[in-house]
Amino acid sequence: MADSALFESTPGEADVLSVLPTFDEDPTSVSHDIPEDDLLRMHRVMTLTRALDERGMRYQRQGRLGFYLPSFGEEALQIGSAYCFEDDDWMFPHYRVPGTALWRGAELDQMVANLFGNRDDNGRGRQMPVHYTMSEINWVSVSSPLGTQVVQAVGTARAMQIRGEKKVAVTYFGDGSSSTNDFHTGMNFAGVWKAPVIFFCNNNRWAISTPFEQQCAARNLAEKAIGYGMPAMRVDGNDVLAVAQATRSAVEHARAGNGPVFIEAMSYRMGPHSSSDDPTVYQPAGEREEWQRRDPIARFRRYLTGTGVMTEDEVKGIEEECAEIVLASFKRNEQVEKPTLESLFEDVYAKMPDILREQSDFLVAFEGGEVREDTSGAEFPL
Ligand SMILES: Cc1ncc(C[n+]2csc(CCOP(=O)(O)OP(=O)(O)O)c2C)c(N)n1
Ligand SMILES: [Mg+2]
């Protein structure tokens, strides 16, 4: 009979490459070698991300946007990680990392155009709000089905590896997405191929209303990487400096041809899952308040003012400026017309087939009131 003690041993935290439990430490005690200009830009983009989220939620509540999904509380993990990639590396995001695009120089107006689904939106109103697509900055479209971006990132990393390019891919996903088939498929083959890909998990402890404990029987997600033959690390996701330090070492490892790395950034979803959600019906009382004490932006501000990089007035100035930039973009984009009806049929074929042209003409006539009923003879395919 097997020794039952065998079953009591699970992979330990000792197997995880590095643990950086910096929660609640004095923020000014962190040592790093990030130049001051970069610190200032990090702060600015974190603040801009927060401003975008605040305005998005307000517009939705005012009935001026159909949907919004904020990333409150996860700004440090977005900016700290994005900081570590080169412009020609590839990002495969999920919906809760708009700050990674802003860090890479995404046009704010382009993102806000997506929220309104207007004529300036490069997705022409066909995607959900917050599902941005920005190939010009190597930032691949956000897909609603969870985990699909994981295999896309691995495939891309593998292709770059075969071509002998020194580029890496990164994929962002949540704790809940670690339960998808695609997560495990991607992790497995990245390990087998030693593909240059970073698996960046935003462990914000919730997947809509499902808490981490109902998602995962292991003590943490980083340990799963061990089974796929890749190093992993856990990092305080609310400390932008710690995230940058962890991600930089992971990127160096992958770029040098040593294979993938898994990063579990410990954080908390400080807002609702989306504008359609009310977390007060499922989150334990006081939990959010506890995490608000660890607000990553407030923490970074304490670091910057405590070390003399910025004054309180300068911080306030940046906050006001970001809020204004975002509001101006919302006001502009709200005025832009919606895409034309015909645009529904465009962008699929280089030359539109006659059958689509007929349907397009019919729809336009129908909506314009010129046709009262469907006279095309087609039956609804039940
Ligand atoms: C394959 C799939 N299953 C379920 C859903 C519905 N869904 C959308 S978001 C979400 C929660 C995801 O949680 P997590 O991965 O932790 O990311 P977070 O929203 O916390 O950032 C679920 C279950 C989906 N979009 N795709
Ligand atoms: Mg989550």
DSSP line for 211-259: EGGGT-SSS-SHHHHHHTT--EEEEETT-HHHHHHHHHHHHHHIIIII-
In a domain, residue 200? The reply is yes
Do 222 and 10 contact (CB within 8 A), yes or no?
Answer: no
Q: Is 96 in the pocket of ligand 1 (CB under 6 A)?
A: yes
Q: Is 74 in the pocket of ligand 1 (CB under 6 A)?
A: no
Q: Is 208 in the pocket of ligand 1 (CB under 6 A)?
A: yes
**Whether residue 129 sits in one domain with residue 203:** yes
Q: Is 131 in the pocket of ligand 1 (CB under 6 A)?
A: no
In a domain, residue 3? The reply is no
In a domain, residue 79? The reply is yes
Interior CA angle at 20 toward 23 and 153, to 5°? 110
**Whether residue 167 sits in one domain with residue 267:** yes
For atom 13 of ligand 1, the residue with the nearest CA is: 207
**Whether residue 64 sits in one domain with residue 21:** yes
Q: How far is the CA of 177 from the centre of ligand 1 (A)?
A: 6
Q: For residue 24, what is the DSSP state?
A: T
Ion ligand 2: residues, CB within 5 A, are: 174-176, 204, 207
Q: For the whole model, what pTM was predicted? A: 0.92
Q: Is 78 in the pocket of ligand 1 (CB under 6 A)?
A: no
In a domain, residue 2? The reply is no
Q: Is 268 in the pocket of ligand 1 (CB under 6 A)?
A: no
In a domain, residue 318? The reply is yes
**Whether residue 280 sits in one domain with residue 191:** yes
**Whether residue 360 sits in one domain with residue 324:** no
For atom 20 of ligand 1, the residue with the nearest CA is: 207
Do 126 and 340 contact (CB within 8 A), yes or no?
Answer: no
In a domain, residue 208? The reply is yes
In a domain, residue 44? The reply is yes
Q: Is 146 in the pocket of ligand 1 (CB under 6 A)?
A: yes
Of 177, 268, 269, best ligand 1 pocket probe by most atoms within 8 Å of the beta carbon: 177
Q: Which amino acid is at 98?
A: P
Please report the atom of ligand 1 found closest to the CA of residue 146. Answer: 26
Tokens of 243: 């995230």
Q: Is 77 in the pocket of ligand 1 (CB under 6 A)?
A: no
Q: How far is the CA of 175 from the centre of ligand 2 (A)?
A: 5
**Whether residue 352 sits in one domain with residue 319:** no
pLDDT value for 31: 76
Q: How far is the CA of 348 from the centre of ligand 1 (A)?
A: 28
Range of the domain at 352: 340-377
Q: How far is CA 353 from CA 341, 349, 360, in A?
A: 17, 8, 11
**Whether residue 222 sits in one domain with residue 82:** yes
Q: Which residue has the tokens 């691949």?
A: 140
**Whether residue 200 sits in one domain with residue 349:** no
* Ligand approaching nearest to the C-alpha of 71: 1
Q: How far is the CA of 214 from the centre of ligand 2 (A)?
A: 12
> Which residues are catalytic, by number?
269, 273, 282
Number of domains in the chain: 2
* Ligand approaching nearest to the C-alpha of 204: 2
Q: What is the residue-level pLDDT of the chain in tens, covering all 382 positions?
A: 445 454 444 444 444 544 444 545 666 667 788 999 999 999 999 999 999 999 999 999 999 999 999 999 999 999 999 999 999 999 999 999 999 999 999 999 999 999 999 999 999 999 999 999 999 999 999 999 999 999 999 999 999 999 999 999 999 999 999 999 999 999 999 999 999 999 999 999 999 999 999 999 998 999 899 999 999 999 989 999 999 999 999 999 999 999 999 999 999 999 999 999 999 999 999 999 999 989 999 999 999 999 999 999 999 999 999 999 999 999 999 999 999 999 999 999 999 999 999 999 999 998 888 776 665 566 655 5
Q: Collect all residues with Cβ–Cβ distance below 8 Å to 32 and sequence separation of at least 6.
A: 241, 244, 245
For atom 17 of ligand 1, the residue with the nearest CA is: 174
**Whether residue 351 sits in one domain with residue 371:** yes
**Whether residue 353 sits in one domain with residue 285:** no
